[in-house]
Amino acid sequence: MTRVKIAIVILSLLILMSIGSVLMVHYACNRVMTVLEQVQHAADREDTEQLGTLCDAAYERWEDIQWMLMCTVSHEKLTLTDQAFCRLRPLLDTDCDEFEAELSTVYTMLLHIKQGETPYLTNIF
């Protein structure tokens, strides 16, 4: 009987840790995605002064959450997203037309990271 209780406790801990990691990934991605949405609105208004500060704020948030995501998300996804983030500021400084395309790429990558960690039946089986 003791073995059954220990097995139930271990299984419960594993399930709680899994749920906690999914919630952590969602929270972390949402924090950056909200700032990226503000960057998109500033880009639509062509407010270059606010655009620069928001772009820097988004990258700072990305750096803040990156260590949390390293536990659950593959390093390849994180590296690709980080590379796309690093291209945002130089594109903004050179007033390049590709800034909005790169911004949507970063947003899409974060969305894929967020959705990739959600346990759907298609992800499990």
Assess if residue 3 is contained within a domain: no
* Residue 25 burial (C-beta neighbours within 10 Å; 0-12, 13-18, 19+): buried
pLDDT digits (tens, 9 = 90+) for 9-21: 999 999 999 889 8
Q: How many domains does the chain have?
A: 1
As given in the structure block, the two tokens for residue 21 are 């990691």
Domain that holds residue 99: 22-124
8 Å CB contact between 32 and 110? yes
Look at residues 72, 63, 37 and name the one whose alpha carbon lies nearest to residue 51: 37
Assess if residue 47 is contained within a domain: yes
Cα 95 to chain center, whole Å? 25
Q: pTM to 2 decimals?
A: 0.83
CB atoms within 10 A of CB 50: 14
> CATH number of the domain that 115 lies in?
1.20.120.660
8 Å CB contact between 21 and 72? yes
Assess if residue 4 is contained within a domain: no
pLDDT digits (tens, 9 = 90+) for 22-79: 899 999 999 999 999 999 998 888 887 888 899 999 999 999 998 888 888 888 999 9
